[in-house]
Chain A
Amino acid sequence: MGLIGGGLVDRSATGTVAKERLAFLAGLFLIPAVAALAMGGASTYVTSNWAVLIIAGLFVGLGTRIANGCTSGHGVCGISRLSLRGIVATVFYIGAGGLTVVVFKHLLGVI
């Protein structure tokens, strides 16, 4: 979701592009909000451990911008056009994610 970096952080875009990015973010926030209300709530289980939240958030933000993409950018948009970078990125982030869950859930019991 490079658009999040683009809409919230990268202020280099101006005019229509900047407006489009903000409109995209607004839709991404508002439409699920309305849908969740209509469905009588949605389930998510974000950890209440603030240390984990902050470290995870920092890593996701840093990683997404350093690698130029995340699940949607490299995973969906990259693999679908057979981009080598997209495929390599996806292998590494799924591998790292899987290992992290093993270590922090099963070995350390933090999450």
Chain B
Amino acid sequence: MAFAAGGVFGLGLLISGMTDTREVQGWLDVFGDWDPTLAFVMGGAIIPMAIAWQLTRGRTPVVGGSFPAPPEPRLGRNLVVGSVMFGMGWGLSGLCPGPAVASLSFGGVEGLVFLGAMVAGMIAAPPVKARLDTAAVAS
């Protein structure tokens, strides 16, 4: 089931152009030659997902486990700092985590280098996050 979910997700990323770094950078390039296509991909993903969230109310997953808990309402420094870092990396490369895996088979050695650096960043993240937490408490 998880394999199929990953597969459908990856297929969607591939067909919609999320694995094409030029399209992603074209979408982020609001002051240059802006390509609005990916806004429809995001909108198109958010609408069915909103319906899906409604459907999960009062139900349990048919494949077992449980649905994610309601969102945490607190905003913190982590959220902003992390999102800005993520956005910068995404803008520089045109790749975010899902498409980085989905495009591995055709992204060449560069795709692998990116994935390696991304995994290294993920491993390095918890101590940075802990430091940001204490900084937030101290200030």
Residues of A within 8 A of B (CB): 1, 3-5, 8-9, 16, 19-21, 23-33, 35-37, 41-48, 50, 52-68, 70-72, 74-81, 83-86, 88-90, 92-102, 104-106, 111
- Residues of B within 8 Å of A4, CB to CB, are 97-98, 100-101, 118, 122
CA distance A5 to B111 in the complex (A): 17
Are the CB atoms of B83 and A57 closer together than 8 Å?
no
Are the CB atoms of A101 and B126 closer together than 8 Å?
no
Partner pick for B82 among A67, A71, A101, CB 8 A cutoff: A67
CA distance A79 to B49 in the complex (A): 9
A8 in contact with B122 given A60-B93, A64-B97, A86-B71 (CB within 8 Å): yes
Are the CB atoms of A24 and B97 closer together than 8 Å?
no
B129 to chain A, nearest CB (A): 5
Could you list 12 examples of A-B contacts with CB < 8 Å? A4-B97, A28-B10, A29-B101, A46-B93, A46-B103, A46-B114, A47-B110, A53-B113, A61-B89, A98-B29, A98-B31, A100-B87
Are the CB atoms of A9 and B119 closer together than 8 Å?
yes
A79 to chain B, nearest CB (A): 5
Partner pick for A63 among B21, B71, B87, B111, CB 8 A cutoff: B87
Are the CB atoms of A46 and B82 closer together than 8 Å?
no
Are the CB atoms of A70 and B19 closer together than 8 Å?
no
B7 to chain A, nearest CB (A): 3
- Residues of A within 8 Å of B10, CB to CB, are 27-29, 31-32
Q: Does B3 contact A (CB under 8 A)?
A: yes
- Residues of A within 8 Å of B123, CB to CB, are 9, 61
B85 to chain A, nearest CB (A): 3
- Residues of B within 8 Å of A46, CB to CB, are 21, 93-95, 103, 107-108, 110-111, 114
Closest 4 CB pairs of A and B: A61-B121, A57-B117, A67-B82, A63-B86
Are the CB atoms of B42 and A75 closer together than 8 Å?
yes
